[in-house]
């Protein structure tokens, strides 16, 4: 109890007396926590949503039967003959768009007769006569439809109208799947709508309790045709989750930056608190408070900041997650797998995590200053006239530690990923940040020495006082510079990485996008889902007088080595003669593409090569519809369209392995001299009765770069928050600095300083801190960018890109940060000029 009283009197009361200082630190911590929580909540909602309501419809299944391009329907007949009490749920699955709302959702075909008999489908109209209606669909309540309403959807390259027969009233687990928007149709209706007559996409297998799973598995596998495989239920979902792991990990790490910046500021706040209460600590120690007791007081202060910031961060994080989930889902869709955003829900776990995160970071950050509070000797602390705190910063010793940390960081860059995650890369960045932070005191001392003779003559007395003040309060200055320069460095490094990536993608697109017009089905597509276009469309376009050639490309989603990948095939000779696909250095493009159609050969994308460790000459086993197919890798091509990884082969080699001829995109080359608009008009006319998306060469590039920018929008948002936290912290620290140095500032007024000069002094301090932070941040950011590009990115995603300086972008961002730093001095300067020198000097 007495400790609580002490905490209230020594810590809480002074804090409440200066609310602006405490509030700014609180905001910094809560923002740091909020960003981490927001990214986790939003990432979960965006990534979790692809589990979708598909899996909740059929009840619990143990196995699933799949094939890369559909399971022959007669397989069901064979399975039915097994002398086992198994439940088989055949399904057709397709992503469609509800044209009224624009919402992407799943259309699922199930055996409604069997379901109706088992009362699985719950709707307002459950009579079997509804099955006579070939347009009948049951929809989730999330779509907001009423029974009897028309439901117009885009499916593949067509528009179709269904009729709402019933609305699902059962609720999914909202946290995982979001509102239920699924559409269910009878199995034959789905086959007709998707053009998969005689095929089933997936068969879920339910096993009653007591049946041996291994024996059952063997029995099922014995009747499966080649190319059809049995695997544990949820394998695809789990694989997708694993694939998204790197993406979510990188976001988590980025989101942690704001928290690291917040930790710097907690350190600063508690340091200032210790410095300012030095006299009081001395008195308390003289009155019998132990070292540990004094230490505990300041740790409790940090914990209070952490707890309050953590709780506020949980609420703020939930709000931020609502905004971020759409951006993340768009990225997941563009780069990985079809996903519809789920619902953001703050759970008890997240609340606890926020609290622990806030308190944990605060306590770690406060440990050193709290320990120092414990080591204060009573006599020394109480001695008047020696209020100036002698900060024992061992700049030289710190520099040695810094060298060690930097060397370790450099060594970590050479280590391989752990379980597909660039853990050593992350560690290297952390060591680099810490090493630089430890170098800062030495840097500030050296800078002060270098400029001390010139600073007054060049910039005036305010600059002289400001630079001396920074060097004089080394630890505080170093912490502030550490916080801001970390935020700046992360922004610079991400800017360099994204800028380099963008430039590389632009160059790649120049090579890759050679055709004049591109077409794909209007239905939702993503790297795991390629809606087909009717083959007649390609034939009709090829027959147009304006058209020179049509490249028919087919993409299929499959699993290679238990990882999702894409198999694509087309006329490789058209790629050779008309395209400009580039290969990794040292690989002969012409020879590779000439050889591709003559045997079981493939080329693989760089991300695929990286993830599967597939090099030229290696053999891959691909699960094709008619069974496993061994192919030899001829080369590795540059590809930035998907992180899943692509295997590409010639249509003449792969086409015969698929039951139906299908294309998923068309590249149209116009004849020389045909104006683009004329060619486009002709193609549009020939596809007028189809729901296809048509892109010109230019619009496809624009679309690709739009998706690219959208993908990294969340990254920029995270950086902006980190910088905002740092600038907020700077404002808070400057206020603390003014309060702490009010005696000095008041003395200056006695010595003839005008209010303008006092204001100028504070602005100069902010300006100097900003300048040093920006300079250090730029250098650190460059080093971090090298790690991001050549270690973390390569180990996470498998892409290589050329280093590029986005000069104007960085200049603009740094200028903005500098201006924000200066602006952050406005309030502290106001506080400084409003000090009453007489009162302050009297108190001193």
Site residues (CB under 8 A) for another protein? 384-385, 388, 390, 456, 461, 464-465, 468-469, 471-472, 743-744, 747-755, 757, 837-838, 841-842, 844
Minimum gap (Å) between residue 440 Cβ and another protein: 18
For 671, other C-beta atoms within 10 Å of its C-beta total 13
Of 173 and 744, the one with the shorter C-beta distance to another protein is: 744
Minimum gap (Å) between residue 282 Cβ and another protein: 17
User: Which residue, 701, 705, 689, 682, is CA-closest to 550?
Assistant: 682
Of 456 and 589, the one with the shorter C-beta distance to another protein is: 456
The owner of tokens 């804090």 is 15
Write down how long the chain is: 844
Minimum gap (Å) between residue 841 Cβ and another protein: 7
Minimum gap (Å) between residue 751 Cβ and another protein: 5
Minimum gap (Å) between residue 19 Cβ and another protein: 22
Minimum gap (Å) between residue 465 Cβ and another protein: 8
User: Which residue, 317, 270, 257, is CA-closest to 724?
Assistant: 257
Task: Show the tokens assigned to 491.
Answer: 């922004």
Of 481 and 604, the one with the shorter C-beta distance to another protein is: 481
Of 461 and 707, the one with the shorter C-beta distance to another protein is: 461
Cβ atoms of 645 and 605 closer than 8 Å = yes
Minimum gap (Å) between residue 801 Cβ and another protein: 47
Of 689 and 754, the one with the shorter C-beta distance to another protein is: 754
Minimum gap (Å) between residue 750 Cβ and another protein: 5
Of 659 and 743, the one with the shorter C-beta distance to another protein is: 743
Q: How far is CA 177 from CA 52, 193, 288, 340, 342, in A?
A: 5, 25, 59, 8, 5
User: Which residue, 11, 28, 12, is CA-closest to 733?
Assistant: 28
- Residue 184: partners with Cβ closer than 8 Å, 6 or more residues away: 57, 107, 108, 109, 110, 112, 121, 137, 138, 139, 168
Of 100 and 841, the one with the shorter C-beta distance to another protein is: 841
User: Which residue, 499, 506, 501, 500, is CA-closest to 812?
Assistant: 499
DSSP code for 511: H
DSSP code for 663: B
Q: How are beta strands 150-155 and 627-637 bridged, if at all? A: unpaired
Cα–Cα distance measured from residue 605 to residue 611, given in angstroms and rounded to the nearest whole number: 10
Of 150 and 388, the one with the shorter C-beta distance to another protein is: 388
Of 340 and 469, the one with the shorter C-beta distance to another protein is: 469
Of 466 and 509, the one with the shorter C-beta distance to another protein is: 466
Cβ atoms of 634 and 640 closer than 8 Å = no
Q: How far is CA 62 from CA 55, 232, 572, in A?
A: 12, 6, 41
DSSP code for 790: I
Minimum gap (Å) between residue 467 Cβ and another protein: 9
- Residue 724: partners with Cβ closer than 8 Å, 6 or more residues away: 31
Facing residues of 553 across strands?
665
Of 706 and 834, the one with the shorter C-beta distance to another protein is: 834
Minimum gap (Å) between residue 472 Cβ and another protein: 3
Of 47 and 466, the one with the shorter C-beta distance to another protein is: 466
User: Which residue, 328, 349, 265, 246, is CA-closest to 645?
Assistant: 246
Cα–Cα distance measured from residue 448 to residue 471, given in angstroms and rounded to the nearest whole number: 7
Minimum gap (Å) between residue 744 Cβ and another protein: 6
Cα–Cα distance measured from residue 190 to residue 589, given in angstroms and rounded to the nearest whole number: 43
Helix (H) or strand (E) holding 686: helix 676-686
Of 473 and 493, the one with the shorter C-beta distance to another protein is: 473
Minimum gap (Å) between residue 395 Cβ and another protein: 15
Helix (H) or strand (E) holding 96: strand 87-98
Minimum gap (Å) between residue 396 Cβ and another protein: 18
User: Which residue, 322, 317, 280, is CA-closest to 297?
Assistant: 280
Of 225 and 472, the one with the shorter C-beta distance to another protein is: 472
Of 452 and 802, the one with the shorter C-beta distance to another protein is: 452
Three-state DSSP state, 651: helix
Minimum gap (Å) between residue 388 Cβ and another protein: 5
For 469, other C-beta atoms within 10 Å of its C-beta total 19
Cβ atoms of 317 and 36 closer than 8 Å = yes
Cβ atoms of 638 and 646 closer than 8 Å = no
Minimum gap (Å) between residue 757 Cβ and another protein: 6
How buried is residue 842: exposed, middle or buried, by Cβ count under 10 Å (0-12/13-18/19+)? exposed
């Amino acid at each position: 109890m007495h400790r609580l009283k002490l905490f209230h009197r020594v810590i809480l009361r002074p804090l409440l007396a200066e609310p602006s200082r405490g509030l700014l630190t609180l905001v910094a911590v809560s923002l740091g926590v909020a960003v981490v929580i927001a990214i986790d909540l939003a990432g979960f909602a965006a990534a979790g949503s692809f589990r979708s309501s598909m899996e909740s419809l059929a009840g619990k299944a143990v196995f699933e039967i799949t094939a890369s391009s559909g399971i022959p329907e007669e397989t069901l007949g064979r399975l039915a003959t097994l002398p086992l009490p198994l439940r088989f749920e055949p399904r057709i699955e397709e992503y469609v768009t509800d044209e009224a709302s624009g919402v992407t959702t799943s259309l699922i075909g199930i055996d409604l007769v069997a379901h109706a008999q088992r009362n699985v489908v719950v709707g307002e109209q459950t009579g079997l006569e509804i099955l006579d209606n070939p347009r009948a669909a049951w929809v989730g309540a999330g779509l907001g439809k009423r029974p009897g309403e028309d439901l117009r959807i885009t499916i593949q390259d067509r528009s179709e109208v269904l009729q709402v027969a019933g609305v699902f009233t059962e609720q999914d687990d909202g946290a995982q799947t979001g509102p239920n928007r699924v559409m269910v149709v009878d199995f034959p209706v789905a086959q007709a709508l998707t053009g998969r007559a005689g095929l089933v996409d997936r068969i879920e297998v339910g096993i009653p309790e007591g049946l041996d799973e291994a024996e059952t598995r063997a029995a099922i596998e014995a009747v499966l045709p080649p190319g059809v495989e049995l695997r544990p239920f949820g394998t695809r979902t789990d694989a997708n989750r694993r694939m998204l792991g790197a993406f979510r990990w990188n976001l988590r790490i980025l989101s942690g930056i704001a928290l690291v910046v917040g930790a710097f500021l907690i350190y600063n706040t508690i340091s200032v608190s210790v410095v300012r209460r030095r006299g009081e600590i001395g008195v308390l120690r003289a009155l019998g408070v132990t070292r540990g007791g004094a230490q505990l007081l300041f740790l409790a202060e940090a914990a209070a900041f952490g707890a309050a910031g953590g709780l506020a961060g949980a609420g703020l994080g939930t709000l931020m997650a609502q905004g971020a989930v759409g951006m993340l889902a768009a990225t997941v869709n563009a780069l990985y797998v079809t996903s519809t955003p789920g619902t953001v829900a703050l759970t008890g776990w997240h609340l606890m995590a926020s609290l622990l995160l806030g308190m944990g970071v605060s306590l770690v950050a406060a440990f050193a200053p709290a320990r120092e509070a414990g080591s204060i000797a009573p006599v020394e602390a109480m001695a008047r006239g020696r209020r100036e705190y002698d900060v024992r910063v061992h700049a030289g010793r710190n520099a040695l530690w810094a060298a060690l940390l930097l060397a370790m960081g450099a060594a970590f860059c050479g280590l391989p990923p752990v379980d597909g995650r660039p853990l050593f890369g992350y560690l290297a960045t952390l060591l680099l940040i810490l090493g630089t932070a430890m170098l800062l005191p030495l840097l500030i001392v050296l800078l002060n020495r270098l400029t001390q003779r010139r600073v007054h003559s060049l910039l005036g007395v305010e600059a002289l006082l400001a630079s001396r003040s920074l060097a004089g309060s080394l630890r505080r200055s170093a912490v502030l510079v550490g916080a801001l320069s970390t935020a700046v460095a992360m922004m610079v490094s991400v800017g360099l990485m994204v800028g380099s990536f963008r430039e590389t993608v632009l160059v790649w697109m120049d090579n890759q996008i050679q055709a004049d017009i591109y077409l794909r089905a209007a239905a939702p597509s993503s790297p795991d889902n390629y809606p087909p276009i009717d083959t007649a469309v390609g034939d009709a376009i090829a027959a147009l007088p304006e058209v020179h050639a049509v490249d028919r490309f087919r993409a299929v989603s499959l699993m290679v080595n238990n990882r999702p990948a894409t198999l694509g095939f087309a006329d490789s000779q058209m790629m050779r003669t008309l395209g400009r696909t580039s290969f990794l250095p040292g690989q002969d493009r012409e020879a590779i593409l000439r050889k591709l159609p003559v045997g079981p050969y493939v080329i693989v994308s760089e991300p695929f090569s990286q993830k599967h460790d597939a090099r030229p000459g290696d053999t891959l086993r691909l699960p094709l519809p008619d069974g496993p197919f061994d192919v030899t890798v001829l080369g590795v091509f540059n590809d930035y369209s998907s992180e899943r990884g692509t295997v590409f082969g010639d249509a003449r080699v792969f086409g015969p392995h698929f039951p139906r001829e299908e294309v998923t995109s068309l590249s149209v080359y116009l004849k020389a001299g045909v104006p683009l608009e004329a060619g486009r008009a002709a193609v549009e006319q020939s596809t007028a009765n189809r729901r296809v998306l048509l892109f010109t060469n230019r619009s496809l590039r624009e679309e690709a770069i739009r998706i690219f920018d959208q993908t990294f929008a969340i990254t920029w948002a995270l950086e902006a928050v980190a910088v905002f936290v740092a600038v907020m912290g700077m404002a808070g620290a400057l206020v603390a600095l003014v309060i702490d140095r009010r005696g000095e500032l008041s003395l200056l007024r006695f010595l003839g300083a005008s209010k303008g000069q006092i204001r100028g002094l504070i602005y100069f301090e902010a300006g100097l801190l900003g300048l040093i932070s920006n300079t250090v941040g730029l250098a650190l950011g460059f080093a971090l960018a090298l790690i991001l590009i050549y270690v973390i990115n390569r180990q996470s995603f498998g892409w290589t890109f050329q280093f590029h300086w986005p000069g104007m972008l960085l200049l603009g961002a740094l200028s903005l940060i500098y201006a924000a730093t200066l602006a952050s001095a406005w309030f502290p300067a106001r506080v400084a000029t409003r000090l009453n020198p007489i009162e302050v000097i009297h108190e001193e």
